[in-house]
Structure 1
């Protein structure tokens, strides 16, 4: 117990979310959402479906139609931001989104914020792809071997 690292926490730690719209809306309805004074949110809605947006082009005074979806760069930026913010204690990320930035998720090794992969409505959870779960399994198997238990 004396060798355990002390993790600094504050009383107002947040949960950040990177997931599809349905998952984010459910978590927002549960009260997890936050918007700070600088209008920064603690979530990113990853839109894997193409959404039709109407953009007004003021230069030509006509409407143009454009298809937009969340880019991998936006997901990477949100993950980096959420994992470095001091007011966030947990980052919930849909597993299919985590697979898009697997190199970042696998290389993340800090205890706070904790990164947890969650299922989504359209993509079931696969424990074999969860890097955090595999690290925990490895840790417990190494402890059981070291203590002589099997």
Structure 2
């Protein structure tokens, strides 16, 4: 699949989530490294591999949004919270096996801090 100057969504999630989003058309395979704009996380996938994919997505100029399942984001919370640039936006999404906790979401925490700072 080739893009014509458009931007991509990066995805870090379990197999079910990745398959769903790929069926929706977000998949991209590039001849450059890293070749894909998604990482399928299995139970044996280590935090270092997740961190590496996240950092690679941050450096890519063709990704504007990174979706990451919240339970996976917990494994690299320090890196998620350290990313403060607006682009690529990092959005935490729920997974079917783990509930979504808005108190852990880095974007919502920053928004809450901005709102409370103005009050």
The normalised TM-score by structure 1 is 0.73
Match in the other structure for 1:46: 41
Structure with the higher fraction of residues in helix conformation: 2
Aligned match of 1:92: 67
| Bigger Rg, which one | 1
Greater fraction strand: 1
Q: 1:141 and 1:31 mapped to 2: Cα distance?
A: 38
Alpha-carbon distance, 1:11 to partner? 4.2
Q: Does 1:82 align with 2:77?
A: no
Deviation of the 1:121 alpha carbon: 1.0
Q: Which runs of 4+ in 1 moved over 2 A?
A: 140-143
Alignment partners' CA distance in 2, 1:106 and 1:24: 23
Specify the SS of the correspondent of 2:53.
Answer: helix
* CA distance in structure 2 between the aligned counterparts of 1:13 and 1:142, rounded to whole angstroms: 33
Length, aligned pairs only: 115
Runs of 5+ consecutive residues of structure 2 not aligned to the other structure? none
- Unaligned 5+ residue runs, structure 1? 1-9, 49-68, 146-150
* TM-fit CA distance, 1:124: 1.2
SS of the residue 2:90 aligns to: strand
Q: Taking structure 2 as the reference length, what is the TM-score of the superposition?
A: 0.91
- CA-to-aligned-CA distance 1:42-86 (integer Å, 9 cap, x gap): 0000002xxxxxxxxxxxxxxxxxxxx211110010000001110
Alignment counterpart, residue 12 of structure 1, candidates 6, 20, 37 = 6
Residue in 2 that maps onto 1:35: 29
* Structure 1 residue 37 displacement after superposition: 2.3
Structural RMSD (CA): 1.5
